[in-house]
Structure 1
Amino acid sequence: MGAVTGQDNQPSSTGLEDDGNGNSRSQPPQRRDLNGWRVSGQPWEQTKPKTKPITSGSDKGTQVTVEIHSEDTPLKPIRILSLEKGSQRLPGLRGHNNKGFQGTEAPRPPGAKDLHAYPWDKSSLKSMPVDLQQFKKLDDYALKVNIKSSVEDLVKALLKQARTELEKVRAIWMWICHHIEYDVVGYHNKSQLSSKAEDVLQMGKSICEGYAELFEQMCSIAGVQCKKLSGHAKGHGYKIGQTFTGNSDHAWNAVYIEGRWHLLDSTWGSGSVDDSFTTFTRRYNEFYFLTHPALFINNHFPDNSNWQLLKPTLTLKEFENNMLHSSNFYTLGLLASHPETPIIQTVNGKASVSVDCRSGTLFTFKLKGTDEHGLMTLKKHGMKLDIYPQETGRHKLEIFAKPSKAEASDGVYSCVLEYVVECESVDEAARFPKDLHQPVGPSWFSERQGFLRPSHREPTIHTNDGRCSLTFTLGKDISVLSSLHADGSGLAEDMGRRHIMQIRRGNQIELKVHLPHAGNFVLKIYSKKRSDPGNYDYIFNYLITCLNTEVKWPAFPQSYSKWMEDYEILEPLSGLLPANRNVQFKLKMHGIAKVLVQAENTYPLTHNRGCWEGTCNTSGCREVFVMVHENANHSFYSHVLKYEVETQ
């Protein structure tokens, strides 16, 4: 996926060992129970410590450490570590002004009050209330701090603007995410890699182990309890359906803030790497700061299940089988996807996917790198996608989304979901024209552009006789343009428009479609402001299907610029007239002084109840024109329609 996992077996200096083949492997961690006691191979056996230190401090700054021994151990005198008054210097901070720094106790294991319900309740992306606007000043300050003399000096500088535990963690998080980059060279060559906090600071780069080490040490210096966690991650290189075995492949942190544990991943918060794992791109990701545990488990599985901070916890098998949602899925306001399993099977050549969201979001998809083999429709609170793979086997399906406010052409779609589609049979009838644009059909987006109350709400229109009529109420003062497209039919762009008759009646618009033959067609609809002399913008499209091979409708007559959008042809609708026949004309036009039909001879039409009517004979001509005289005081006529006459 886009974020870096650091599937990064560490060198021995960071708790990993070499396997003798040049590969570093994690040493098996010691098993400990919730009290920190090391547990042996059998779950009921415990190895008790011989001594257990207890630290006590008075409000005057006196600190005493007492050792409690088991009965079979000779007693020793109580050793007083320090009776000094006032603030204490940390061993690692000698020579520095340590005012404001605190020592941290050993992190306590998570308890009942740390747990969050699973699955996610859709309430918040964070595990505690966080107002990012209140962090703006602190964030800006942390980004400008540029100290590399020591970790202690860096923390001291950051804490000048941080007072609470949350502010301290935020300042550390922002600094690491914006100043440490992923070490793609070290990932491939462990001999050049160090994950020690001081080395990470000096080099300005590391893998996940180094990010987590630095975060843990900076929090410790700042007086915030922090623990480095390890486990499996569905990050870079993850393949849908893969199982996780052996050593951990990722590291992250838990921080103790306001009496509760919270999770974060500064590696993934800092950016991502390319597919070849050779280039790191810094791209800050807020999602992985104090992520809600029910979302964090989506791609982080800790070695110790207690650090899931969930009730109930997930098994490794459940983690492997669960759907993977990218961070973009949640930051875009998406809520759920169906089906909830990453591998889906087609039924009779078809598979369906849907996504739920809170508000209007734009979607698109790629099936094996193309969007030709599916029908995606936008819903008010999500989308629905039917896909029809045209080959059997396993296919990669990617779902992309972007916020509706990013409707400009520079808006970028982000991948939010991936499925593997297993196809056993192909529906060869479900072959869609290449001009079909996703999504298909009317939606909240077309309504926003002014197309209200569509007569056809589904994306596909089925017609048996090759004809259909669509109507809309226009909610804006717009002009509408439409065109018809098909694969391999020789339907040129101008002829594609002539197979649609567009009629406007007030704020109502009707599109009459006559198909030239059977097959699958795309009806594209464009619009622009009526006062705008510029180009039309694409809005949406329909899929029109006809299986009747006897269908062969001619185009409508060709119209010219003087033909107004609220004019209407009542007859003849066909743009191809029979030869040597009397043809009845009936046209609804307003504001016209005279109307003539020019064939071999000229035939005037008479005005009757809002319509111009009359008869024309097509003998001896190849073309017939309708001309209008707009002003009785003028002598010239304008062409508005052109018909063709059948050859004898």
Structure 2
Amino acid sequence: MGCIKSKTLKVTEESDPNGRYNKTISGRISETMQDSKVSVKKDIHKQATLNETSSSAQSGYTRKDVTKPSSNQQNQDNSEVTSPNERKIDPLKDFKVENTKYDPHETVEMNEVVNLEKPAVKEIVIDEITFKEDTVSKGIGILPWNGQKEIKSLVTGTENDDNKTLKRDVAQEVKEMHVHELPANFPGPVPPKTKKKDLITDTTFTRVDALLDKVDVEAEQSVPRLGLFLSGKFKQDDFKALDNEEAPAEALPKVVPPKSTKNALMSDPDIFKHVDDYSKTVPESVRYSVEKLAEYLSAVARNDMEKIRAFYYWICHNISTPGDLNKVWYSFDKGSDIPERLKHDAASTLRQGQGSCVSVMKALCSVVGISAVTIIGCSKSLRTDPDRDFLPGERNHSWNAVYVNDEWRFVDCTWGSGYLDETGKFHQQYDDFWFFTDPEIFIYDHFPDHPLWQLLDEPKDINEFNKMPCLTKRSKELGLLLISHREPIIYFDKEIHIEIATETLPLSNITADLRDSDNKDVNEHRCMERLDASRFQIRVVPPHSGEYRLSLYGQSKEYKHAKFRRLMEYILRCATPYTDAITFPRHFKVWGPEPNFDDLGFDKSILKHSVFSTDFLEMVVPLDVKREIIINAEMKGHTHAEKDLSGNILLAASKKKRNVFVRFPGRGYYKLDIYAEGKVAEDTLEFVASFLLECQSNDVNVRLFPKYNAEAVCKFQTTLMEPLDRELPENTEVDFCVTSTNKFKKLILAVPFEANDAERLKPIGELKLKEENSVYTYHGRFATPKKGTPFFLAGSASPPNVFMSRIFEFITI
């Protein structure tokens, strides 16, 4: 090659009378190699021959194609014999090329004889180079040189007796370019049969691109060596070692469970708002370089935690399908032959658009000096087959652990970027849950190879992990605790009771979806019961033997705005069902009060019962209240869904209690809904609770309660003692008794003035007052009107309000 010395030459091109051009070099030469820096120092020890063949004596000469020498050419590399169409050129002993950078294409042009098409003056900065034959140069098209005379004549523009002045007829050469015949056995030009997309996939050049990061200084200083390096013909042993290359062991901080929780670190919901907003502004110019990307993302961060957050946010928002090469993808085509190391190379991932996002996270942390590791293990989700057990050492997922604030924390960019639906299709959806997830929550679905990276005081084994049901992130956020059954598959006979709880009380309500093996909704065979403020029970009574899928959903404290979120899923396998199937009323929430019961004036004792059972045809549902409120009730039944059951309930009120009397039509399960006045709108009652009522009596009841006015009952705090039947015999003496904690001005038994009179009442008689222990008792004995006549117990408060309110309604038969 050459030794570098500074010398300035000048090439002048002039036209002769024959239209040809003379080329001389006399001063400074500056060519289009401004972007390259070539510094080569070698001594020449051999001479090589430059063979050029001319198809016409008038055309000057044309050099042979030496980009890939033939075997005959290689055998003649050391020959001193030249043919009549060959001429010798003496190389300069010392000249130097001074450039900033090199361009491989323009370097080839340096070795070619330039065709000059029009008069011009070109300046090329050339360093003095002494060429020598190099075995490395031989396979890649570097011209061999034969003697110093050829170079000298090329530079000075003069030749010896055997060679004339360098002159070329451009028009003649252009003509000859079209008459050159193809070499023997050279395939003729035909349209290609394949398309680019069939030849090149997203990962075709992953290994090639990765080599760009491995080019050493020695290769960069030599065009031949660089060509061989990038073409894979140089340092083959080193290339093979890349596939199995392992990063040097890093001295890591001690791996121990963290002392702080995620909630403690991120108590302020807007703690990362400025970081997240900044991470959305990453320009295209930095996204393909690990160093530039890390520098940009961490520019706004005030500490290591904010840097990690910026990396996590950017990676999660830039993971997409492999078809979008502008974004990162975390999975590879299993049929790909890409070396395993390159699949997890961060630079390759950013450049190719495919790769491992955990490697990107680790690389970004490494740039800014944050300790980070990639943890390999297995994970499971709601799509995981519960019958399949993971084996020791099994791997299907990877995630990161980062060291921040003197503690190790988990981050899973893959799960934080989105989710897979039931068909396996990926949906991009950012999820903050998998950033700094607490270890005791993380272990439900992430099992690392090494137990140390569970970050738990008492690590679990693979068998425990297999038995743990798969919980969603929402169940972990809502503090779900499994009390009775901690296995994902439950075997039982007849019925099963599953108890769950919430430790931190954000879980305020639950619901469940029960489906059979045909995915048919059979929710009438399950019910959810509230045991107390923090515990729930799900009772399932399958109608047939077989397998059922029970999906649980939960609601948070934010009652008015919260939605039910998926918590977990059980597989239920019933061997023997009941002979007579048990059916519950259709209900989509847990039995019992709603979370807003306290705001509506009910005492917390309402939480004590949500399911009531009796062996009789009648029962009372007590409701304690904190203040004077108006309530109402509605009764429904599964087996009596189309039947009006309004006559089967009677409301009673006192100062701090509301009671609902229930009269069952017969055996079975019934639903009792409670409503109370709220702040939504006037004359509107809000839903408070649903209670499940069970009657185990085999008798049948046809008696109905008197109709009641809920507002008047609550206003006067009244309880009807007798009669408790709506239908009374005509023209019969009947005792009427009412108690109240709010004194009436007058309480009468009356009938309407006319048959259709809805307002005015005609008194039958007035009930007499008896006061005892702040309880007012009103009693009277009256004859009932004729058959088919409705009549009322009506009362009025103290003056000035003398309006008579109808409280209870009867009818004669």
Same fold per superposition (TM over 0.5): yes
Local SS of the residue matching 2:475: helix
Residue 650 of structure 2, aligned match among 477, 498, 501: 501
Deviates more, 1:393-402 or 1:301-310: 301-310
- Deviation of residue 349 (structure 1)? 2.1
Name the CA distance, whole Å, in 1 between partners of 2:403 and 2:803.
87
- Deviation of residue 485 (structure 1)? 0.9
Partner of 2:223: none
Name the CA distance, whole Å, in 1 between partners of 2:607 and 2:380.
42
Local SS of the residue matching 1:144: coil
Contact 2:591/2:692 (<8 A) preserved: yes
Residue 108 of structure 1, aligned match among 250, 271, 274: 250
Local SS of the residue matching 2:296: helix
2:662 maps to 1:483:
no
Partner of 1:623: 789
Local SS of the residue matching 1:451: coil
Residue 538 of structure 1, aligned match among 664, 667, 687: 687
Residue 557 of structure 1, aligned match among 706, 723, 736: 706
Contact 2:528/2:536 (<8 A) preserved: no
Partner of 2:116: none
Structure 2: runs of 5 or more not aligned: 1-201, 208-246, 516-520, 756-761, 771-775
Partner of 1:380: 533
Contact 1:461/1:545 (<8 A) preserved: yes
Name the CA distance, whole Å, in 2 between partners of 1:291 and 1:558.
57
**1:243 is matched by which residue type in structure 2?**
D
2:313 maps to 1:166:
no
Local SS of the residue matching 2:447: strand
Name the CA distance, whole Å, in 2 between partners of 1:106 and 1:167.
27
Contact 2:796/2:802 (<8 A) preserved: no
Name the CA distance, whole Å, in 2 between partners of 1:459 and 1:633.
43
Structure 1: runs of 5 or more not aligned: 1-9, 16-104
Once the two structures are superposed, what CA deviation does each residue of 1:340-372 show, in whole Å capped at 9, x if it has no partner?
222222254223232232225222222225543
2:765 maps to 1:604:
yes
Once the two structures are superposed, what CA deviation does each residue of 1:487-513 show, in whole Å capped at 9, x if it has no partner?
232664xx4233221122223212222
Name the CA distance, whole Å, in 2 between partners of 1:627 and 1:309.
71
Contact 2:490/2:570 (<8 A) preserved: yes
**1:460 is matched by which residue type in structure 2?**
V
Deviates more, 1:358-367 or 1:559-568: 559-568
2:420 maps to 1:253:
no
Check 1:298–1:530 CA distance in 2 against 1; reply closer, same or farther (3 A cut): closer
User: Across the two proteins, how many residue pairs are aligned to each other?
Assistant: 535
Name the CA distance, whole Å, in 2 between partners of 1:303 and 1:456.
45
Partner of 1:328: 474
Check 1:292–1:428 CA distance in 2 against 1; reply closer, same or farther (3 A cut): same
2:547 maps to 1:394:
yes
**1:267 is matched by which residue type in structure 2?**
T
Name the CA distance, whole Å, in 1 between partners of 2:537 and 2:527.
10
**1:621 is matched by which residue type in structure 2?**
K
Name the CA distance, whole Å, in 2 between partners of 1:512 and 1:542.
13
Once the two structures are superposed, what CA deviation does each residue of 1:246-274 show, in whole Å capped at 9, x if it has no partner?
96322222334456544321111122232
Partner of 1:440: 591
Contact 2:729/2:787 (<8 A) preserved: no
Residue 151 of structure 1, aligned match among 290, 294, 307: 290
- Deviation of residue 145 (structure 1)? 3.1
Partner of 1:522: 671
The alignment yields a C-alpha RMSD, in angstroms, of 4.0
Once the two structures are superposed, what CA deviation does each residue of 1:111-161 show, in whole Å capped at 9, x if it has no partner?
8x31339xxx9x7358x9566554443333234334435332221111212
Local SS of the residue matching 1:114: coil
Once the two structures are superposed, what CA deviation does each residue of 1:197-222 show, in whole Å capped at 9, x if it has no partner?
3464467x65xx52112222222222
Name the CA distance, whole Å, in 1 between partners of 2:473 and 2:800.
70
Partner of 1:6: none
- Deviation of residue 636 (structure 1)? 9.6
Partner of 2:278: 141
Name the CA distance, whole Å, in 2 between partners of 1:560 and 1:167.
62
Once the two structures are superposed, what CA deviation does each residue of 1:225-252 show, in whole Å capped at 9, x if it has no partner?
3333332211363122312359632222
Name the CA distance, whole Å, in 2 between partners of 1:201 and 1:477.
67
Name the CA distance, whole Å, in 1 between partners of 2:642 and 2:725.
17
Contact 1:478/1:530 (<8 A) preserved: no
Q: What does 1:337-376 correspond to in 2, within 5 Å?
A: 337-361=483-507, 362-368=509-515, 371-372=523-524, 373-376=526-529
Q: What does 1:556-575 correspond to in 2, within 5 Å?
A: 556-560=705-709, 563-565=712-714, 566-575=717-726
Q: Which has the larger radius of gyration?
A: 2
Name the CA distance, whole Å, in 2 between partners of 1:331 and 1:634.
54
Name the CA distance, whole Å, in 2 between partners of 1:262 and 1:241.
31
Residue 319 of structure 2, aligned match among 180, 200, 203: 180
Name the CA distance, whole Å, in 2 between partners of 1:636 and 1:189.
82
Contact 1:225/1:255 (<8 A) preserved: yes
Local SS of the residue matching 2:687: strand
**2:667 is matched by which residue type in structure 1?**
A
Partner of 1:3: none
**1:393 is matched by which residue type in structure 2?**
G
Name the CA distance, whole Å, in 2 between partners of 1:256 and 1:635.
77
**1:608 is matched by which residue type in structure 2?**
L
Partner of 1:300: 446
Residue 267 of structure 1, aligned match among 400, 408, 414: 414
Check 1:386–1:561 CA distance in 2 against 1; reply closer, same or farther (3 A cut): closer
- Deviation of residue 586 (structure 1)? 2.7
**2:414 is matched by which residue type in structure 1?**
T
Q: What does 1:14-25 correspond to in 2, within 5 Å?
A: none
Contact 1:503/1:511 (<8 A) preserved: yes
Local SS of the residue matching 1:411: coil
Name the CA distance, whole Å, in 2 between partners of 1:153 and 1:459.
61
Local SS of the residue matching 1:404: coil
Local SS of the residue matching 1:328: helix
Name the CA distance, whole Å, in 2 between partners of 1:487 and 1:642.
28
Once the two structures are superposed, what CA deviation does each residue of 1:593-637 show, in whole Å capped at 9, x if it has no partner?
462444999732342325554444447412331264859999997
**1:642 is matched by which residue type in structure 2?**
E
- Deviation of residue 419 (structure 1)? 1.8
Contact 1:11/1:191 (<8 A) preserved: no
Once the two structures are superposed, what CA deviation does each residue of 1:505-528 show, in whole Å capped at 9, x if it has no partner?
223212222222232211111112
Check 1:444–1:604 CA distance in 2 against 1; reply closer, same or farther (3 A cut): same
Once the two structures are superposed, what CA deviation does each residue of 1:154-202 show, in whole Å capped at 9, x if it has no partner?
2111121235443332221122123333659976966899765346446
2:724 maps to 1:578:
no
Local SS of the residue matching 2:437: coil
Partner of 2:622: 471
- Deviation of residue 291 (structure 1)? 2.9
TM-score scaled by length of structure 1? 0.71
The percent of aligned pairs where both chains have the same amino acid is 22
Name the CA distance, whole Å, in 1 between partners of 2:639 and 2:440.
51
2:803 maps to 1:642:
no
Contact 1:334/1:355 (<8 A) preserved: yes
Name the CA distance, whole Å, in 1 between partners of 2:400 and 2:801.
85
TM-score scaled by length of structure 2? 0.58
Once the two structures are superposed, what CA deviation does each residue of 1:38-73 show, in whole Å capped at 9, x if it has no partner?
xxxxxxxxxxxxxxxxxxxxxxxxxxxxxxxxxxxx
Name the CA distance, whole Å, in 2 between partners of 1:313 and 1:423.
33
Contact 2:722/2:738 (<8 A) preserved: yes
Using CA pairs under 8 Å that are at least 6 residues apart, name the structure with larger relative contact order, 1 or 2: 1
Local SS of the residue matching 1:155: helix
**2:308 is matched by which residue type in structure 1?**
V
